[in-house]
């Protein structure tokens, strides 16, 4: 089954975009509410935003299917990554707004969730793991860059407005101090966007699971407030706004490769 697309690059950098997908299986779409069927919780246009990373030699991994099918950035046992805070699960039944994803009684049962993990979650992670191993074998190191975006104001998930750029390194556990410092210096020096390191978003399952500096795999998540490059209400990509943001993202990726 076509669950993802992989571009293999030449640099020790893998850009993973696990929430870019917008596909829905035919038998699932009618079960979603009208609001959920528009896929509002997609990391809209991040593959377009990061397409320039090919010029840096990056590998890029992008899923086909929506996070409503299965969230690739959640652990397969669905343990909460942010205990005590509102969040959504492995096969979400609640939107970021707090509204339901499914019509009443139409959500997935345990057997369906297990089948989705096998059909959609595992192929992505098997490929991600294999690509990291290939990169590490060729370069002796690998940097895994988790590219995400989210609506900048979501009271169900966090108070107030999210900073424009939210860097997560699992509180410093998923990369070396030197890499975190280089990235933090880029963020502090750019001046156009509000930013934070290890704030509300410290990195999801992929960052925490694959980041292992001791074996030469460093993982970083960048959560971008969508207002920085698109219209959050219409989901329209705004090229001029995006091009300005890409300058900063490029500097971050170059610092990751340094």
Q: Any idea where the domains of the chain sit in the sequence?
A: 4-257
- 33-44 in b/e burial notation, b at 16+ Cβ within 10 A? eeebeebbbbbb
> How do the pLDDT tens digits run along the chain, 258 residues long?
589 999 999 999 999 999 999 999 999 999 999 999 999 999 999 999 999 999 999 999 999 999 999 999 999 987 767 766 767 789 999 999 999 999 999 999 999 999 999 999 999 999 999 999 999 999 999 999 999 999 999 999 999 999 999 999 999 999 999 999 999 999 999 999 999 999 989 999 999 999 999 999 999 999 999 999 999 999 999 999 999 999 999 999 999 999
In CATH terms, 4-257 corresponds, of 1.10.10.10, 3.40.50.1950, 2.30.29.30, 3.40.630.40, to 3.40.630.40
Structure token digits, residue 54? 């090919």
Q: What is the pTM of this model?
A: 0.95
């Amino acid at each position: 089954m076509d669950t993802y697309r992989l571009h293999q690059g030449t640099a020790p950098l893998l850009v993973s975009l696990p929430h870019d997908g917008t596909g829905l299986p035919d038998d699932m779409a009618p079960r979603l509410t009208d609001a959920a069927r528009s896929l509002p919780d997609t990391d809209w246009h991040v593959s377009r935003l990061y397409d320039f990373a090919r010029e840096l030699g990056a590998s890029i991994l992008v899923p086909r299917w929506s996070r409503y099918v299965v969230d690739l950035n959640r652990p397969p046992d669905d343990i909460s990554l942010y205990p005590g805070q509102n969040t959504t699960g492995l096969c979400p039944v609640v939107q970021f707004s707090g509204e339901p994803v499914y019509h009443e009684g139409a959500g997935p049962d345990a057997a369906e969730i297990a089948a989705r993990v096998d059909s959609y979650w595992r192929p992505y992670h098997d490929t991600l793991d294999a690509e990291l191993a290939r990169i590490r074998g060729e370069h002796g190191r690998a940097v895994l860059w988790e590219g995400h975006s989210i609506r900048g104001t979501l009271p169900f998930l966090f108070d107030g407005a999210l900073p424009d750029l939210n860097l997560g390194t699992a509180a410093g556990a998923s990369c070396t101090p030197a890499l975190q410092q280089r990235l933090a210096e880029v963020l502090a020096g750019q001046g156009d966007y509000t930013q934070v390191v290890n704030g509300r978003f410290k990195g999801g399952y992929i960052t925490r699971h694959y980041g292992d500096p001791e074996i030469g795999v460093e993982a970083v998540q960048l959560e971008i407030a969508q207002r920085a490059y698109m219209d959050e209400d219409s989901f329209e990509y705004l090229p001029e706004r995006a091009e300005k943001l890409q300058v900063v993202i490029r500097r971050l990726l170059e610092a990751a490769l340094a």
